[in-house]
Structure 1
């Protein structure tokens, strides 16, 4: 095994928790206004969300989870209209 293959980890191995695939309606709070989104998957530590239209997210947003609870989350990555968010505050999903 070469050094490159040893140092590479799959995205799954880098995650702190297993993700559950879901297609649930959700909302994020961006600069005081609520924006609709779709939860693509969710775990105890974060979520992947998508938008129908191009949407800018600041580095931190409140996410309204499918159960109605709100949790502060940090934007970790973006690919087009899809974002990966890491929860900052503990939550009970």
Structure 2
């Protein structure tokens, strides 16, 4: 499964010094959630991601507030793509497995 979307970068309030995420669209989150898969820590789903010229592997995680999945965007990617909190960027997410 491969998804393309634009999303805004936001900082996780519980650990504002460490984590920046984007929220996957509701329809994408629902589709990912509906695929049966082995249970993993925190409901993580492994993905490959592209944003601009950056490519990386990580996992998306269900957000407890509304069930949408969130994607962590590491500092090296934000710096490389010149992204800051509140910026909107285009992401391509490929669900693995």
TM-score by length of 2: 0.39
User: Which structure: greater strand fraction?
Assistant: 1
TM-score by length of 1: 0.40
Pair member with larger Rg = 1
User: Which structure: greater helix fraction?
Assistant: 2
Q: Which has the higher contact order (CA 8 A, sep 6+)?
A: 2
